[in-house]
Amino acid sequence: MKTQHIHTEILSPHVSVDCVLLGIVDDKLCVLLAELTRENHEKGLKLPGSLIYETEDLDQAASRILKESTGLTRIPLKQFRSFGDPGRTANIDDVHWLERSSKLKVGRIVTVAYLALCKVRKRMNTNERYNLAHWIPVENLPRLLFDHEHIVKTAVQEIRKLVDIEPKIVFDYLPSKFTVAELRRTYEIIYDKKLDVRNFHKKVNSLGYIVPTDEMEEGVPHRSARFYRFDAIKYKKIYSKLSNN
């Protein structure tokens, strides 16, 4: 019932939320983009985002907007930056689409961006404002609405910082059991650089929260690798000690 109440509120013409979901598809770092149709029937791509309601909390708006534009829920979104360049609404076609969809006269808009490293799901649902959601490689972005290309590039830099500070983000993304090679490749894709195999393996072994299991790969054309798991309890103990020093 709470959601119905929110949807009867008035949209703010000056504040929006945009969600940057990054994931790995076909060994490439990709961003989830929503496809929409303009008045002239041309297709456009943008980040899942929208104006917020006047009485709506920003975190609440981010979750609502993501669900409406992609059908995704329970994504651990993290607010990472605001974008308020006056020129972000300079393209009249972008503004016309927003005005038509929001039924508001739009001027300068400040957007609050949210970020998550998201497991890729093939099936997503969208509402009538959007046609489809697409995973697009961040290194090969098409023309996006507003300043969304700049937001995506900023988000890629931000996720690299977050992974350094809070590596649990990577393990939330990985399956419950993974090989060291899978872990290393995930880091390589996020950082867009090759990592030394031997040094990476040594680092993994030095971290108390990456625990070897008794299980090995099966049915692979190469030498079977051992599966590891992430120990959240050990991780919490290690990082609580670091923060208290």
Tens-place pLDDT, residues 148-189: 999 999 999 999 999 999 999 999 999 999 999 999 999 999
Which has more pLDDT, 132 or 176? Answer: 176
In this prediction, residues 73-99 reach a mean pLDDT of 90
Q: Which domain holds residue 235?
A: 166-244
Mean of per-residue pLDDT scores for the chain: 88
Amino acid 124 reads M
Q: Which of 138, 157, 176 is the last residue of a domain?
A: 157
Tokens coding 67: 């669900």
> Which residues 6+ apart lie within 8 Å of 190 measured at CB?
29, 117, 159, 160, 163, 170
Phi-psi region at 32: left, alpha or beta (left = phi > 0; alpha = psi -120 to 50):
beta
Residue 215 pLDDT grade (very low, low, confident, very high; cuts 50, 70, 90): very high
Please check whether residue 21 is in contact with residue 76, taking contact to mean a CB–CB distance below 8 angstroms.
Answer: no
Q: At what angle do helices 148-165 and 180-191 cross, to 10 degrees?
A: 140
CATH number at residue 183: 1.10.10.10
Question: Could you identify the residue written with the tokens 């959240």?
Answer: 232
Distance of CA 138 to the CA centre of its chain: 12
Q: Which of 157, 184, 206 is the last residue of a domain?
A: 157
Please check whether residue 117 is in contact with residue 172, taking contact to mean a CB–CB distance below 8 angstroms.
Answer: yes
**pLDDT (0 to 100) of residue 241:** 53
Residue 123 pLDDT grade (very low, low, confident, very high; cuts 50, 70, 90): low
Kindly report the pTM of this predicted structure: 0.87
Do 92 and 66 reside in the same domain of the chain? yes
- SS3 label, residue 163: helix
Do 197 and 216 reside in the same domain of the chain? yes
Q: How many domains would you assign to the chain?
A: 2
